[in-house]
Amino acid sequence: MKIGLVGLPKSGKTTLFNLLTGSSVATARYDTGRAELHTGVARVPDPRVDVLRGLFNPKKTTYATFEVVDLAGIAKGERAGLETKEFRSADALLHVVRAFPDEALGAPDPRRDIEDLETELLLADLEVVERRLERLEASIKKQRKEAELKERDLLGRLKAALESERPLRAETLTGDEDKLLRGFTFLSAKPIFHIVNLDEKAIAEGERVVETFGLAEIAARPRTRVGWVSAVIETEIARLTGEEQQAFLADLGLAEPAIRRVLRECYALLGLVSFFTVGEDEVRAWPIPEGTRAQDAAGVVHSDIARGFIRAEVNGYEELVAVNGAFADLRSRGQLRLEGKDYVVRDGEICHFRFNVAK
């Protein structure tokens, strides 16, 4: 799963990209004139994984991850950058919104920037819909095909939504419609997280960004989140370690680096939850879309395990921690659950798959 960073030029996208992925791509105060594209992998902090590592003392610990792609800034009315393939295929968008003052860019206005970006996404989708509708009409004139008539009706509906400034993520679609539309990679259909990049002096205001910038109506929209960070402060926090970092966080009144919360929010925006596998070799968090069946979850670990799936031994995280990781205790108490292939795996469950690979 992949999240795409968008935003106006110089809003702090690359700074945030570096924080999310632990990279060190150069950031620039002035335009470098190069349309760069960065891709990386973000690791999702999860205190449960830390606890499980403590219990099993494994050789290896693996956190859940997702991919991140960072684009060059998209100026108002300039949609070409949005056409990048790596960006189009993103499952969700992380919109970096400048809230720090900058002489060259003028006073920040998060609400205006959010509405402008949403408009660009709508217009990009409208272009795609209109182009496709024209071709469909031409084809239908020659020969009426059932599938094309259906597609025309559906796209007509989307066009009406877009023209009345409703992003496609607000549409309710049937499974078939969703499948039909997938290839279009509509931008306004992607869930979006507007992250307000605060001035370092304003982070005490973090919890009030929605009120401060008048974003309540935006935050209430379907599949939309609003959050905050100060990318510059987070970069400083990330440079410190141990006690120094703790002291700095305490000074700022933060319980943990804000980037950890942002990572978890991105993960949730992507619709992902984690199940765990544990053992002496490895403690690992596996990302799965919410609602994944046990057999498909097994397939995330290995396709052979899905193919030869027999049963999943499942335990809740709390249950396992309560017995200090002693599966034998759970078994003797009859607390080890055995689930079939259609069982829906929940966030935090510890799974051990029984499988049998046919020779």
Q: Which residues bind ligand GTP (CB under 6 A)?
A: 7, 9-15, 27-29, 31, 72-73, 100, 197, 199-200, 230-232
Q: Which is closer to ligand GTP, CB of 5 or CB of 345?
A: 5
The least distance separating ligand GTP from the CB of residue 31, rounded to whole angstroms, comes to 6
Under DSSP, the state recorded for 72 is P
Least Å distance, CB 190 to ligand GTP, is 19
Residue closer to ligand GTP (CB basis): 28 or 326: 28
The dihedral sign for the CA sequence 318, 320, 324, 329: positive
Could you tell which of ligand GTP, Mg ion, none binds residue 21, using a CB distance below 5 to 8 A set by kind? none
* Whole-angstrom distance, CA of residue 66 vs CA of residue 56: 25
Among ligand GTP, Mg ion, none, what does residue 10 contact (CB within 5–8 Å per kind)? ligand GTP
CB of 99 to ligand GTP, least distance (A): 8
For residue 127, the minimal CB distance to ligand GTP (Å) is 23
* Residues binding Mg ion (CB under 5 A): 13-14
Find, among 42, 44, 37, 45, the residue nearest to 13 by Cα. Answer: 37
Residue nearest to Mg ion (CB): 14
Do 100 and 200 form a contact (C-beta atoms < 8 A)?
A: yes
Annotate 297-333 with three-state secondary structure. Answer: HHHHHCHHHHHCEEEEEEECHHHHHHCCCCHHHHHHC
Which one, 104 or 358, has the nearer CB to ligand GTP? 104
Q: How far is the CB of 15 from ligand GTP (least distance, A)?
A: 3
Cα separation of 266 and 95, whole Å? 11
* Whole-Å CA distances, 268 to 65, 191, 226, 271: 12, 10, 13, 5
Q: Which residue's C-beta sits nearest to ligand GTP?
A: 73
Check: CB of residue 324 under 8 Å from CB of residue 55: yes
